[in-house]
Amino acid sequence: MNALVATVAVAAPLDKALFYLVPSSLAEDILVGVRVRVPLGRRTVVGYVLEVAPGEDVGLKPVIEVLGKEALFPPAMIEFFRRAADYYQFPIGEVIRTALPAGLSGGSNGVKVLAERVYRPSEAVGTPRGPRQREVLEHLRRNTDFSRSELLDLFPGCEGSLKALVEQGFVLEDKRELLRDPFADLMPAPDTQVEMTSPQAQAFSAIETALQSGEFRTMLLHGVTGSGKTEVYLRAIDAVIASGRQALVLVPEIALTPQLVSRFRARFADGHASLAVLHSGLSAGERFDAWRSVARGDVDIVIGARSAVFAPLERLGMVIVDEEHESSYKQGDGFRYHARDLALMRGQMEGAMVLLGSATPSLTTYQRALEGRIDYIQLPERVMGRSMPTVELIDLSQDRPEGTLSQALKEALVANLACGDQSLLLLNRRGFAPYLLCADCGTALRCPHCDITLTFYLSQRELRCNYCDFRQQPPDQCPSCQGVNILPEGAGTERLEQELQELLPTARIARMDRDTTGRKGAHQSLVSAMENRAIDILVGTQMVAKGLDFPHVTLVGVVQTDNLLNLPDFRAAERAFTLLTQVAGRAGRGRRPGKVFVQTYAPEHFALKYCIRHDYEGFAREELALRQELGYPPFGFLVNCVFSGAVREQVEAAAQGVVAELLEPADKLSVEVLGPAPCPLARLRGKNRYQVLLKAPSRPPLRHLLTRLPLLRRGIPGRVSLTLDIDPLDML
């Protein structure tokens, strides 16, 4: 018997889509891209329609309900979702749920559409009775439609007249959807379009030529900090819009969004391009409105963080991945995708150009450029002839600080404040101190759920786990020896802020970390305060290093550099060099030159030597040689298999069982199997964790080996979970 059948990706851990019968009562509402409620076993779940076609009714369960009348993504994106799910070995329904914003991914809207009443004159002839009615109608006939609030501003107390005009047929009443604009109160900066430098002009010319081909191309724009990459982006997007296509701009941090949005709004203020913003820092209503505007085709440019790579653009002509090296483009849990890599996948599928921009490209991207697999463009100098900041290493074995700051850095801060310039300090640890230590027995207070010490927060007088958010009050006595000498050890941003207030009591000091930017709009407030010179010294974690443009910052200090260098990860040197180079690049972006102080006990480390010379090529050459010798990315490929569960013995046994089954086929495929071994964070959120690392010189053998995992999963106890991290960035 012929019937209408919907292919549905359910939001559940299933490897494939399911088929459901479309009841005749829902036939008109079923579209590709809509949400539906469907039965799954004894429960109902949300799913997303991938296809609707005639088929056989072979005992299929029916769709229960269609949730919403609008398609949330165009049909062209379905293959993108499928390929992303296949590459990252993740259920397609969960992929789509991750892609959609809150309010559109679940079983109910949760977010309401805002609307206002709008009035316009009808074609009825004649004149209403009252003078007030005639006045309002005459105004509407001269100026077409007005919202209710606008008419009430012009004609206070005219509600009765409006009602009478509608009842008499002189005025028509409609509803108009209101869009929540997260940047409605953000004043656009004046457009700073200037004549491009010769390297900028050459870069734009190469990009424009690639755009004119209308084909998929990948280009790396390698420009030093302050070289004017954003101006090149703006010109390129203008060309994309002129060709009738759309642009997507990805940024790594929410903190960058207000500055970038302000520049984009200034450039496109004449209305020839519309702009939407997508990131997790927006309210559910703002993301709801932005997504639906994009899905309707009303938006030309989308700016957003990692998840914006899924924006439902149908005429995508260009994707820009700014600061493409950033690890924050990689999702750390659930669907562990990398937004940069999905941008490349999407560009290839839709024939769009992908522009990767960075002052410190990831070594994987840089190696691809060296091999000629992607186009390479350089911006080797700062705009307006400005010099790169001087970088000075402070050897802490010689200049031993009493607190967190060395004497040399203290003196530089005092002098910079006296000059009226701004300073920026990077300390990549939150809180007041990384842990509390008993001075009598050496016990450090640890999280009961995670294999990590509890961070001490002085302002809240509490201990907190920065992984699972467990909290407790600091004890009066040591739990091990009952001693009372419990002292904070080490320093975080909160402690550094306190030291600065004692050192410079007249200075206006602010802190930018996850604790101070959790409130909506907090990032924007701090950025605006820095731009308006309402802050003298900004202290922060790595978010202060990422692409922010503060022209009056002339001094940058990096505290506890060695924490970056000593992480148990083969990427530690790359991450340290990148972060130091990026934060150093915040200095001297205005008229006055910049200076950078880097405190370290390891001044001979090769990453620091290249950093003080601003020598990316030299660092890359040395680090790539080490990677090639060890077979690590970009000369090899990795999959991290993480086993977790409440009982350590069960987790270890499950990991050993999988390894035993993989060793023989892995050997035939030349895949190296490392482990199982406890994860560096062996216990996290109450779960014991073991990892098995799969390593191969190319992707195909790994992909082939992973085809065995669905069968092997069946032998894993129900209380043990296995998570795959394809192309892992964080091995902790």
pLDDT digits (tens, 9 = 90+) for 154-183: 888 888 888 888 888 888 888 777 667 776
pLDDT band, very low/low/confident/very high, at 141 (cuts 50, 70, 90): confident
Highest mean pLDDT among 99-108, 180-189, 415-424, 482-491: 415-424
Top-confidence residue, 267 or 701: 701
Taking residue 143's Cβ as centre, other Cβ atoms within 10 Å add up to 12
| Per-residue pLDDT, 129 | 79
Ranked by mean pLDDT, the top range of 163-177, 291-305, 586-600, 606-620 is: 606-620
Rounded (5°) CA angle 392-393-397: 145
Please name each of the domains of the chain with its CATH number.
Answer: 2-99 (3.40.1440.60), 198-384 (3.40.50.300), 386-432+491-627 (3.40.50.300), 637-726 (3.30.70.600)
Q: What is the pLDDT of residue 114?
A: 65
CB 579 within 8 A of CB 545: yes
Confidence at 306, pLDDT banded by 50, 70, 90: very high
Report the pLDDT value the prediction gives residue 460, as an integer from 0 to 100: 87
Summarize pLDDT for 622-674 with one digit per residue, the tens: 999 999 999 999 999 999 999 999 999 999 999 999 999 999 999 999 999 99
27 pLDDT band (50/70/90 cuts)? confident
pLDDT value at position 662? 94
pLDDT at 135: 82
pLDDT at residue 184 in the model: 65
- Answer left, alpha or beta for residue 607, where phi above 0 means left and psi between -120 and 50 means alpha: alpha
Identify the bridge partners of residue 557 per DSSP, sorted by sequence position: 425, 597
Q: Which residue has the higher pLDDT, 151 or 363?
A: 363
- Cβ 478 vs Cβ 415: under 8 Å: no
Tokens of 426: 């990077």
Name the E strands within 35-102.
35-40, 43-56, 65-67
* pLDDT of amino acid 368: 97
What average pLDDT does the segment 315-340 reach?
95
- pLDDT for 265 beyond 70: yes
The per-residue pLDDT for 117 is 77
Q: What is the pLDDT of residue 186?
A: 62
* Angle 639-251-260 from CA coordinates, rounded to 5°: 175
20 vs 188, higher pLDDT: 20
Q: Is the pLDDT of residue 146 over 80?
A: no
Q: Given a cut of 60, is residue 1 above it in pLDDT?
A: no
Rounded mean pLDDT, 286-308: 90
CA distance 247 to 300: 6
> Could you tell me where the DSSP H helices lie in 196-315?
198-213, 229-242, 257-267, 284-295
Helix (H) and strand (E) counts for the chain? 21, 30
Q: CA 310 to CA 96: how far, in whole Å? A: 9
Backbone torsions φ then ψ of 478, nearest 5 degrees: -65, 130
Determine which helix (DSSP H) or strand (DSSP E) holds 672, and give its type and residue range.
strand 672-684
The pLDDT-based confidence of 288 (bands split at 50, 70, 90) is confident
DSSP 169-221: TSEEEEEEEEPP-TTTT-PPPPP---PPPHHHHHHHHHHHHHHHHTS-EEEEE
Taking residues 332-340, what's their average pLDDT? 94
Residue of higher predicted confidence among 313 and 383: 313
Assign 142 a pLDDT band (cuts: 50, 70, 90).
Answer: confident
Whether the predicted model's global pTM rises above the 0.85 cut? yes
Tokens encoding 588 = 């001297």
Where does the pLDDT of residue 188 fall: very low under 50, low under 70, confident under 90, or very high at 90 and above? Answer: low
pLDDT in tens, 691-723: 999 999 999 999 999 998 888 888 888 899 999
Between the alpha carbon of residue 521 and those of residues 426, 529, 538, the distances in Å are: 22, 12, 17
How would residue 389 be classed by pLDDT, with cut points 50, 70 and 90?
very high
pLDDT digits (tens, 9 = 90+) for 535-572: 999 999 988 887 788 899 999 999 989 888 888 889 99
The answer to which of 65-69, 672-676, 680-684 has the lowest mean pLDDT is 65-69
For 120-129, 244-253, 504-513, 620-629, which range has the lowest pLDDT when averaged over its residues? 120-129
Between 220 and 262, name the one with better pLDDT: 220
The whole-angstrom separation of Cα 635 and Cα 696 is 9
| pLDDT for the residue 229 | 94
Asked if residue 103 lies in contact with residue 132, where contact means CB atoms within 8 angstroms, the answer is no
pLDDT at position 218 over 80: yes
How does pLDDT run across 101-135, given as a tens digit for each residue?
877 766 665 566 666 677 888 878 778 878 888 88
Tell me what percent of the residues of the chain surpass a pLDDT of 90.
62
